[in-house]
A = this chain, B = another copy of it.
Amino acid sequence: MSIKEFLHNEKLKEKLSVIIFESDTKAGKAFDVALLVAIFASIVVVIIESMSGWSPLVKTIFTVLEYVFTFFFTMEYLCRLYCARTPRKYALSFYGIVDLVSTLPLYIGWIFGSARYLMIIRTFRLIRVFRVFKLFSFLEEGDLLMKSLVLSARKILVFFLFIVIMTITLGSLMYMVEGHTENTQFTDVPTSIYWAIVTMTTVGYGDIAPITPAGRTLSAIVMLMGYTIMAVPTGIVSAQFIHDNQMRKDEKKTKCPECGCPLPNRSNYCPHCGNEIPLSTWIK
């Protein structure tokens, strides 16, 4: 059949989309599982391929595998585009973008070598696992977490600007204090800022550490500051989570028999329709 026909073969599209997008039919499930396995395998290949000490042969095998996987994923992506009810919508959806992005790296890799490792972005495709195995409650939890984080995003952004200003200032201060002592590790301001971040976040690699008393005093102060500042994002997020818990609890409230609007605990009257609420409602 001609390409034109093919592009408008609704029957075929229908069949395909059931297999590719849904996982309720036997075929659909099989496809999704196969996909997950393929994704996982391709990730493993990228990871172990990076390790040294492989014989040229093995290396070639890995490369071939990478091509195979990429080819497979490219095909899959095209299929999805082909049989999606609204291709644009899919292409712009979170999954759509991840699917596309995880096929490109190899091609980009032809231009700049190590870009190849961006393939690892595929890991994001594993999120599908929830949908495939109907672990919706997990997806939901994830959404709730996301929502909470988004809601406190503004606060956290402000907090970050603050951290950035702090680290720049403290880093430069440290450079002033230790930058000119002999065999110091604070060779320049950027390095000192890096140190400030390493210290404030309590990561503390120790690759850069003060050696003079003054420097140590300053860094002690930085640590104690970081220690307290650490409390802020945690506080923000906790408060948000608790607030959300509250909200959800409210939704579970008893409804008015008249107008079905949620009743504040032990109301005498429905706040919406004024209908008197029998005390019995509150006796369990």
A276 to B159, CA, bound (A): 45
Main SS of the interface on chain A? helix
Q: B233–A240 contact, CB under 8 A?
A: no
Contacting residues, chain B, for A161 (C-beta < 8 A) = 126-127
Name the residue of chain B whose CB is nearest to the CB of A171.
Answer: B120
Within 8 A of B (CB), among A228-278: 228, 230-245, 258-264, 266-274, 276
The reply on A149 being an interface residue by CB < 8 A is yes
- Are A264 and B268 in contact (CB-based, < 8 A)? no
Say yes or no: A175-B230 contact (C-beta < 8 A), given A204-B205, A213-B190, A235-B241.
no
Q: Number of A interface residues, CB 8 Å?
A: 109
Q: How far, in angstroms, from A24 to B39 measured CA to CA in the complex?
A: 53
Other A-B pairs, 14, CB within 8 Å; known A118-B173, A239-B242, A269-B271: A47-B190, A117-B172, A126-B165, A141-B154, A141-B155, A142-B162, A148-B235, A156-B228, A202-B202, A204-B205, A234-B235, A234-B238, A258-B283, A270-B271
